[in-house]
Amino acid sequence: MSEHERTIMAVDDQGREVMIDIQISVKELGELTPAGPVSGEPALRTREGHPVTYLGGGEFSVTLPGDETDLIVRTDDPDFT
């Protein structure tokens, strides 16, 4: 089960905006674990569904179909800077 956690905006060097959706996978393990649901690693995708990799320091790499190199975008979101 995946849950939409939040969306952040990132911008490339030419000023193009990319919306990145952060999905968190949550699994209910039932009665075996008293801690409740367990969260997995967040999955990052653009609004259009393209894969995104967090590079650190507010930078993300977006893989676009047909492009030889990934698009590098940056955010000033405090959770990623």
Q: Per-residue pLDDT for the chain (81 aa), expressed as one digit of tens each? A: 457 689 999 999 999 999 999 988 766 556 655 555 555 678 899 999 999 999 999 999 999 999 999 999 999 999 888
How far apart are the C-alpha atoms of 81 and 77, rounded to whole Å?
A: 6
Parallel, antiparallel, or unpaired: how do β-strands 52-56 and 59-62 relate?
A: antiparallel
pTM listed for this prediction: 0.78
User: Tokens standing for 33?
Assistant: 């674990």
Contact 31, 56 (CB under 8 A): no
Which of 5, 77, 8 lies closest to 42, judged by CA? 5
User: Tokens standing for 18?
Assistant: 């990319």
